[in-house]
Amino acid sequence: MNRLINSQSPYLLQHAHNPVDWFPWGPEALRKAEIENKPILVSIGYSACHWCHVMERESFEDEITADLMNDHFVCIKIDREERPDLDNIYMDAVQAMGLQGGWPLNVFLMPNQKPFYGGTYFKNDQWKGLLANIANAFEKHHDQLAESAEGFGHNLNRSEIEKYGIQVGEPDFDPDDLIEISTKLSSQFDKEWGGMNRIPKFPMPAIWNFVLDYGFTSKNQDLLNSAYFTLKKIGMGGIYDQLRGGFARYSVDGEWFAPHFEKMLYDNGQLLELYSKAFQSSQDPLFLEKITETIGWLKAEMLSPEGAFEAAQDADSEGIEGKFYTWRYSELQDIVGDEMPWFSKLYNLKIHGNWEEAVNILFQTQSYEEVALEFKMSEAELLERLNPIKAKLLKIRNQRIFPGKDDKILAGWNGWMSAGLIQAFISTQDKSILHLALDNLDFIQEKMILNGVLFRSYKNNQAYTPAFLEDYAAVIKASLMAYQTSGKENYLKLAKSLTDFCLDHFYDEADGFFFFNNPDAEKLIANKKELFDNVIPASNSVMARNLHHLALLTYEENYESISKKMISGMKDLILKDPGFLSNWATLLLENIVPTAEIAIVGKGAEELALDILKSHPSNLVVAWSEEMTETAPLLAGKHADQNGNALIYVCFDHACQKPVGTVKEAISQLPYLN
């Protein structure tokens, strides 16, 4: 055993029995490198990472390789999910070296933590050769390595504002900016398979969220159809677990067919929100199926007894990628029997397998309606026959050895899932889904906030590692949504207190953006700012939207002025490359088309609030109460009609239009783009 045996992280514990003398990141390892004047090897991965497992089997479990590592390096293992701040720093460094980023990420540092070389997965022979070469270079060409590391260290400390030429000026927003953004995005759409025209294929929820919101606000059916088409293709693909629900991270091909089968909480939370919004505006039953099944998976396989959601499921079981999810044709034939002809057609099954090792991934390329028509059934009849088969296959699959589970609780990922569940509640009006989300936020508040400080991770009844901006941002977003749907003031207070903490500890007055890490919590070689939206939207873009929404509910102008400053600084970049700034683009939309502030007071307020949220899935905030109250400044001074029945106040920039009594009248007061 090595020092990782005392870790909470399932990923670090996976390496606790390696012959490599691994250290966790911390003062002990860093001091050892300085005292012994040894280079540091930092190896970063996560528990559901397929190639991390491969490199462990080939190299880190091999005695000869381990001896080389132990003799010449101080070896540090990092779980990127616990320490995304360190992952950001060293991923930036590797990319600055002109090398491909990814995981496992292996980076070589001088004893002062400054990087001089790195890479991702290496085959064992390559890895041993590299270790020997670096050990030799450190001994014989120390000065050159140190000079190189100084250069990369300087690059890491360049501010993002300088690097990307961000200039904060007066807000200058134009509806034509949105046309330019949507035109650029549309030119990158894959018209045949949906998603963006690139391989491998990631769902990229922030892009499709913007497309949905802009399509809805501009009443552009072509844009809406692009988003619906993509979501249908993803939901029919092998990236989606057709039996249990839930989405894998990405597909290795351009057709959503073959994923690395890991399921991450943050993907599923965002996709749940996206499918829910799509269902609200389209009422397509396929979207409702994906929502319902994914929540079924979440409750059955990811929910802890305390009401929190675990981080991830692995791609591998019994050491084989996808073994849990795939089927031999003969196996399916025995189970499905006479229904096999249409079932086989529906899921593109092949006798010798449609994937490697003669196995099949369930993968749909035709709609239920098309397959039903071909086999002379109605769609309703096909689904009536399909659902019992899916249930039977799931029962049999559940007897297999399950993939590994990363059972730590991460605050930010739980925030994304709570937001997804709240949107699912809005779209379905199923109260049990809202309870799931609120229980989760209550867990975070009770177990992961200590003395006003949010913690990133929780396991074995212990919260550890102070949270990063991405955690605060996601939990604030979910709390604001919880307040609007539940009407409970404590969620608004939670959002406000966490926001104020971020302004006190993460906000950089010098340029108007937030650091990813809290510079007061730990001294690192660089304090980074996350600006670009990727698979998870940038923590700065999420915070900027939170500040915008919080300002509308609380009337605190400081929040709005910071949000405006942030979006004005990012505008030129958004216009250049909207594919990686789509959550920013949504905030731009919310500035160009004023976000409605809706206050509802009186008997029946809850029902009206939920109806409005369901009917109008974007660009508004709602505060409601069954009686007069000042719990949210937006509600102050608002009252019911003379019979005590609820009135709806639609306001813009604190100025309210004539109060009305029906959702239809309220929605008629909301703006659209021409």
**Comparing 164-178, 415-429, 520-534, 615-629, which segment has the lowest mean pLDDT?**
164-178
462: β partners? 459
Quick one: pLDDT at residue 648? 98
Q: Can you tell me the distance from the alpha carbon of 502 to that of 480, in angstroms, rounded to the nearest whole number?
A: 16
Q: Read off the pLDDT of each residue in 204-226 and give the average, rounded to a whole number.
A: 97
Q: Can you tell me the distance from the alpha carbon of 205 to that of 416, in angstroms, rounded to the nearest whole number?
A: 12
Q: β-strand 312-313 against 405-406: which pairing, if any?
A: antiparallel
Q: Can you tell me the distance from the alpha carbon of 634 to that of 599, in angstroms, rounded to the nearest whole number?
A: 6
Q: Cis bond leading into 285, ω under 30°?
A: no
Which amino acid is it at 256? W
Quick one: pLDDT at residue 385? 98
- CB-CB contact of 69 with 79 (8 Å): no
Q: Read off the pLDDT of each residue in 173-195 and give the average, rounded to a whole number.
A: 96
Label residue 380 exposed, middle or buried (CB < 10 Å: 0-12, 13-18, 19+).
exposed
Which amino acid is it at 395? K
Q: Band the pLDDT of 656: cuts 50, 70, 90.
A: very high
Instruction: Say which residues have a Cβ less than 8 Å from residue 279's Cβ, sequence separation at least 6.
Output: 287, 288, 291, 427, 428
Quick one: pLDDT at residue 652? 95
Residue with tokens 């293992």: 77
Residue with tokens 């998976």: 297
**Secondary structure (DSSP) of 122-178:** --HHHHHHHHHHHHHHHHHSHHHHHHHHHHHHHHHTS-HHHHTT----S----HHHH
Quick one: pLDDT at residue 171? 76
Instruction: Say which residues have a Cβ less than 8 Å from residue 142's Cβ, sequence separation at least 6.
Output: none
Quick one: pLDDT at residue 522? 87
Instruction: Say which residues have a Cβ less than 8 Å from residue 192's Cβ, sequence separation at least 6.
Output: none
Q: Using a pLDDT cut of 90, give the percent of the chain over it.
A: 92
Running DSSP on this structure, what letter comes out for residue 456?
E
User: Helix, strand, or coil here: 507?
Assistant: strand
Element (H, E) at 439: helix 431-447
Residue with tokens 């619906």: 228
Q: Can you tell me the distance from the alpha carbon of 481 to that of 486, in angstroms, rounded to the nearest whole number?
A: 9
Domains and CATH numbers, the chain: 3-157 (3.40.30.10), 178-322+406-592 (1.50.10.10), 329-399 (no CATH), 596-668 (no CATH)
Determine what percent of the chain falls in helix, strand and coil, rounding each to the nearest 5. Answer: 50, 15, 35
Label residue 64 exposed, middle or buried (CB < 10 Å: 0-12, 13-18, 19+).
exposed
**Secondary structure (DSSP) of 341-366:** HHHHHHTT--TT-SSGGG-B-----S
Mean of pLDDT over the chain: 96
Q: Band the pLDDT of 159: cuts 50, 70, 90.
A: confident
Quick one: pLDDT at residue 516? 96
Q: How far is CA 382 from CA 242, 336, 339, 349, 611, in A?
A: 15, 14, 10, 17, 33
Q: Read off the pLDDT of each residue in 193-219 and give the average, rounded to a whole number.
A: 97
Q: How far is CA 133 from CA 38, 117, 140, 466, 625, in A?
A: 14, 11, 10, 37, 68
Q: 583, 656, 594: which is closest to 619 by C-alpha?
A: 594
- pLDDT surpassing 80 at residue 169: no
Helices (H) and strands (E) in the chain, counts: 26, 20
Distance of CA 384 to the CA centre of its chain: 34
- pLDDT surpassing 80 at residue 408: yes
- pLDDT surpassing 80 at residue 674: no
pLDDT digits (tens, 9 = 90+) for 515-566: 999 998 888 889 999 999 999 999 999 999 999 999 999 999 999 999 999 9
Q: Read off the pLDDT of each residue in 31-52 and give the average, rounded to a whole number.
A: 94
CB atoms within 10 A of CB 617: 20
- CB-CB contact of 226 with 206 (8 Å): no
pLDDT digits (tens, 9 = 90+) for 445-468: 999 999 999 999 999 999 999 999
pLDDT digits (tens, 9 = 90+) for 67-93: 999 999 999 999 999 999 999 999 999
